[in-house]
Structure 1
Amino acid sequence: MKIALINYGAGNSQSIKFALKRLGFEAILSDEETEIRSADKVIFPGVGEASSAMQKLKVSGLDQVIPTLKQPVLGICLGMQLLCKSSEERNTKGLGVFDVEVVRFPKGLKVPQIGWNQISNLKTSLFEGISENEFMYLVHSFYAPLCKEAIAISEYGIQYASALQKDNFYGVQFHPEKSSTAGEHILKNFLKL
């Protein structure tokens, strides 16, 4: 199986590569359109700030490539947020795969939310074998509100979508590669899609 990790300088790619290696899979890190299009699975990682990350995607032309991919795609953390319509973070226009506007946590909540939080209301085979209220590791100041594409929910002062899905696109706000065996199980489920 060919797994492509999108390389745009805003990823936590090494920790994802190590997690996949523990599962017995090798991944290539690439910003080449042909390499990405020919992969069986694509992982779109992300750590950092939305507008500079989008800028990097535009420079490489990946902003045009990613929304047209036909194989299963998994956006992680900022990767998930960039798959949305827009982000309040520096008023950033996203890739528009998910019809959701990412917003900042309300005043009064400590941001970023860092650490373990539960996911519930789990839908789709991405969460097969994962218990309701399983703990996942998160680090974020912005979130996707509840919407029709939500396939998992978390609560941090408010309820929000901690995972999204539309067609072949999946997104998780949490870091499966840092979420122990349950997170690795989700990565394995994604590779089975």
Structure 2
Amino acid sequence: MTQFQYDIPSIIKGYAQGYFLMADEMGGNLGWYSSQERALIPLDDRFRYPKSLQRILNQDRFTVAINRDFQAVVNGCANRDKTWISTDLKEIYWELYLTGWAHSFETWQGNQLAGGILGLAIGGAFIGESMFYQIPEGSKVAMVRLVEHLRSRGFLLFDAQMTNPHLERFGSYIIGNRAYKRLLNQAVERSCVFV
């Protein structure tokens, strides 16, 4: 898609209309994309997680922080053999963070970043861009605590963009593009505050 540019207002407009930014894995060229299906993380009672994770949550092994080390989360999400988070996209995320749109939801073990989720908050929509972990269970705990946080703030939508077996363990489900855009339109009209 080329109808949106890469200034902050255009980026927010693009995401609010159901598009997302990605860089191709070959040359790192940035582009706008859309999908006929989207994966959502439920914010209602369909959200679930493994019983083994409940034991870890009960042990309070991790502390949670928002935007404590945004750049470290972006770098952690990008640090893989094949990544769609190019240098240009890292810079865009940083600008979105500075203007209050992008956030990192983090788990920490002492002074070590354990894991985190990177996303954009637009009204009552949280659009998850990526997640990573450095300590086992770090990103899973972040997922549970993020869902709790979004519920407490009145968010309507948690968009995971694409699903995988890991997200399916949390109850992720697929929704068609038309239904997604209806839900997204409702969500972005809400006055929710992420931080």
TM over 0.5: no
Q: Identify the structure with the greater strand proportion.
A: 1
**The structure with more radius of gyration:** 2
Instruction: Give me the TM-score of the superposition, normalised by structure 1.
Output: 0.31
